[in-house]
Structure 1
Amino acid sequence: MTKPMVGRDTKVCMSLAARPGTFGSRFQNRLYEMLGLDFVYKAFTTTDLPAAVGGIRALGIRGSAISMPFKEAVIPLLDGLEASAAAIDSVNTIVNDDGRLTGYNTDYSAVRTLLEESGLEADTRFLLRGSGGMAKAVAAALRDAGFTTGTIVARNTAAGRALAETYGFAWRAEIGDEGAPLLVNVTPLGMAGADADALAFPPAMISACTAAFDVVALPAETPFLKAAAAAGKQRITGTDVAKLQALEQFVLYTGVTPAPDQVEAAAAFARGETD
């Protein structure tokens, strides 16, 4: 199927992040190409979030992914929240319906799906590092998947305590020496850029765990995930999360559900595994 040339009727989708990546743009644009859809997707950053969201509304941008650090700050700028976003006060997706902007959270559903597919028992104790908007989605997904025993690690006392109390988990400010069978990184540690070489958890903790979960999608193999692989641990990767949440965004924007083989092909392209 031939994708139309970009023109007057082309629908535009985008993303907003402090540190834009390439996965979403490559994933969405490859699916548009495969399905012959008159859409185009572009990643942006901004230092003026209200103006950027105003542009989404004024220019008729069909949808926008929202990444760190805008997932909570964007909420007052929207007209409404879908249930998943309202429940955790965090937005990773905006859908524009004729000027009405609604916030969704596809991170939550992606993480919930991956936890259920992982085979991990709900009584598995976890250590979750982070307290921002994505950490809310992961903590909520853990709770709703039946995980009851865990600790939030966050230096931001107010945010860390609030997150732990909201979802019924413990909190501590520093990593310390006590690990857990399931280690979850929901910080930029290991992300391409200034934190690329940072290890989210100490080597001894990784060696002692059962499973490693890193939400960082770029690079696909963070230092944390590499260490977990070397130790023979089960892994849930940020690219797994990125694929599922981006697929849900794609369906929200276009109303089209791609075939599984198309999704896998687009994800491989987004990871740079195919041309």
Structure 2
Amino acid sequence: MTAPVSAFTGKPSIGRDTQLCMSLSGRPGNAGSRLHNTLYGRLGLDYVYKSFTTTDLPAAIGGIRALGIRGCAISMPFKEAVIPLLDGLEGSARAIDSVNTIVNDDGVLTGYNTDYTAVRDLVARRGIDPATPFVLRGSGGMAKAVVAALRDLGFRDGTVVARNAKAGPALAEQYGFRWLPELPEQGAPMLINVTPLGMEGPQADELAFPVEQIAACQIAFDVVAQPAETPFIQAALAAGKTVISGAEVIVLQAVEQFVLYTGIRPDADAIIDAATFAHGPNVATRLRDAVCNG
């Protein structure tokens, strides 16, 4: 299959002064590269972005430091494991003990978390009442960002569902919510998936919640970004529910990463164009209010 071609080609040719940014993920995809590189081209910046995976995290982080790689996005399953390998944490990462962004300043690696900001802004701009009860599946680094954002928005009635009998209760207790090892029989008005269910790969066809719970909910929120519309999101859209997709989260958090790497905040039109190229027009349409009125 031929890769999509971006409409923006204003970026300088790659040379010795080109700044490299990258991502590390257990299941790397193309969306982040397309979004960042489209923004670089639109703004004429001498940067290039490439996605990677690794089976040797310490060596990969050492490479960022040794090669002068400007920034690195961190995805599952590395968001917590990377922390001991860094020189320091910015407040957003320190508050939830989870890193999704590394910035390299002359060999000093600092961890940030832009997931928290993206989740907080999307939930707030959807106008979701903080009195809305929720059920959230997951207990990893992204789950921390989501739960912390909800807590800080005033949500109090929530259940964290996680089979991990150590991480699940600890996450729920830290932020003042309940914990269950398995999904309850009854769902909640807001259902949130923070697991790999529905992600491209072995679990791509799996629903994060039973169809009955999806039909009964009001809001469906899935942090999985690839595909842009998981089976969970597709089922919720078909049922006429309010949705927040992982693709929306990943665009907004990537914009914050872009600012950290380059020192430049792209305008709303550039963000929408890049999101359309990376994730498709449906995601960009749902994002428009968040970026145009942000």
TM range (shorter): over 0.9
Q: Which residue of 1 aligns with 2:257?
A: 249
Match of 2:246 among 218, 230, 238: 238
What is the TM-score normalised by the length of structure 1? Answer: 0.98
Q: Which residue of 1 aligns with 2:62?
A: 54
Distance, in Å, in 2 between the alignment partners of 1:2 and 1:154 is: 46
Match of 1:110 among 118, 141, 148: 118
Q: Which residue of 1 aligns with 2:40?
A: 32
Q: Which residue of 1 aligns with 2:91?
A: 83
The structural deviation recorded for 1:178 is 1.7
- Count, aligned residues: 274
Unaligned ranges ≥5, structure 1? none
Q: Which residue of 2 aligns with 1:6?
A: 14
- What amino acid does structure 2 have at the position aligned with 1:134? M
Q: Which residue of 2 aligns with 1:156?
A: 164
Q: Which residue of 2 aligns with 1:182?
A: 190
Distance, in Å, in 2 between the alignment partners of 1:161 and 1:201 is: 20
Match of 1:165 among 148, 173, 182: 173
SS of 2:256's partner is: helix
The structural deviation recorded for 1:22 is 1.3
What is the TM-score normalised by the length of structure 2? Answer: 0.92
1:136-159: CA deviations, max 9, x gaps?
Answer: 000000100110010000001101
The structural deviation recorded for 1:272 is 4.7
Whether 2:152 is the aligned partner of 1:144: answer yes
The structural deviation recorded for 1:118 is 1.2
Q: Which residue of 2 aligns with 1:74?
A: 82
Match of 2:235 among 227, 231, 235: 227
Aligned-residue sequence identity (percent) comes to 69
The structural deviation recorded for 1:273 is 5.2
- What amino acid does structure 2 have at the position aligned with 1:144? D
1:97-151: CA deviations, max 9, x gaps?
Answer: 0000000000000000011111111110000000000000000001001100100
SS of 2:102's partner is: strand
SS of 2:22's partner is: strand
What is the root-mean-square deviation of aligned Cα atoms in Å? 1.1
Q: Which runs of 4+ in 1 moved over 4 A?
A: none
- What amino acid does structure 2 have at the position aligned with 1:210? Q
